[in-house]
Structure 1
Amino acid sequence: MVIKDLSTKDRNKIVQFLLANLKNGKPRYGAMKEAVALFNSSQRTVTRLWAAAKKQKEKGDEIFLASHKPGAARRKSVSVDIELIQSLELHKRSTIRRLAVGINQSKSTVWRWVNKGLIRAHSNAIKPDLTAPNKLMRLRFSLEALEFDRIMLALKFKAMDNTIHIDEKWFYITNAAHRFYLTQAEGDPHRTCKSKTFIKKVMFVCSGGKPVSVFRLKP
């Protein structure tokens, strides 16, 4: 049985055996086959180990081949540089690709940070900017909802028993683009409209108020 993953000790034993059987700077004829049979390895592995040892010898380094078994040498984890991320402008952090380029990291590293919760994704929507008259109207509405409690000697909100709130909601009856999941035997749905601006709208009007309790007097 051929050993696929050689230990560091076995790797260096093979290299030392080949170094001891050199002829004109190369392993003598048959030395490779002897190493394969002696150390229960393969011809390809022995050839690869000798090529690596030869490179180290040419550089003048000490010949030493470490094992590369799974888990023997793990990649060092990259820590999140919070200050570097915060220093980037928001438009450079709109996608994982842009963020990875901005902090000089790989996309997979940034994706792992997102999965671990080290950084978070946020969908931002534009909020309406209230003008001074709008703010004044809101303040006036809030003040009108207050009343003074003479018993508690404090301000409180009105009960609003005689107040009804009405609101409306507009939405399109369909979307311009829609995704469907169909079987292989079905054809593509055919939807037509004169233009996107001609899609019909539907409006709901809803009113809400505080329910009033009705008390019946006993005869």
Structure 2
Amino acid sequence: MGKTNLKDDEKDGIAHFLLVNSENLVPMKGKIPEADLKWVVTRKTVWLWWTRAKKKIADGEMIHLPSGRLDNTNNPKIIIDKERLMSIPKKNRASIEKLAKKLGVGYGTVQRWVKAGMVKKHTNAIHPSLTDSNKQERLVFSLASTFVDMTQNKIKFKDMSLQVHMDDKWFYITRTTERYYIIPEEDVPYRVCQSKRFITKVMFMCARVTRLVYGDNGEMIFDGKIEIFPFLEEIPAARNSRNMPAGTLETKPTNSITK
């Protein structure tokens, strides 16, 4: 037998559950038995609180929003069962579709919850599992590096305005598909490549951009413009071809790059 002494939040939960799953204040098929099982009450108790909820709607104390829309105050009137939501494994909450299916509500309902801030979208990143020795090595490296100043018994990061970071980058000389904006009367570009699967890559040495550097008198010593240096070499063509005669200088990427 179901319980009869309900808490206020349980009473409101029954009313809002049927309110959301109703059309023109008529509960959808199967929602009354579902409320019986969810709150462990009798059908008579469910109908009792549903009747009182409809009376509140008629008196203007409760707003009827079966489609999950917002009223003029922009406050959502659909109550989320937070305990039920948190009981769902996080792997089944990876998308709105999965969450809506587990909660037994529509996709649009969950989407409106997210938009109203009732459900927060979180992007979770995996972190490395560091041992105590790993943490100690990182601490020693940070203290011994040129980025930390330990003068006057104080530890603080040094000014990075004089630091330039070097790194290598790989770039394809072209892409399989390019987008251009042309006028109707203009000829479309015709691009060719020996192989679409193996497009030539060129290695560049990049100096990362740093801040401007000024002297004591206010003159600018370094303007922050750093170049990208490609690893290319010019090789004369070994033989005649339909593209060029022998001896013509060809620009090709450097195949082997060492320290």
If the TM-score is normalised by the length of the shorter chain, which range does it land in? 0.3 to 0.5
What's the TM-score once normalised by structure 1's chain length? 0.44
Greater Cα radius of gyration, structure 1 or 2: 1
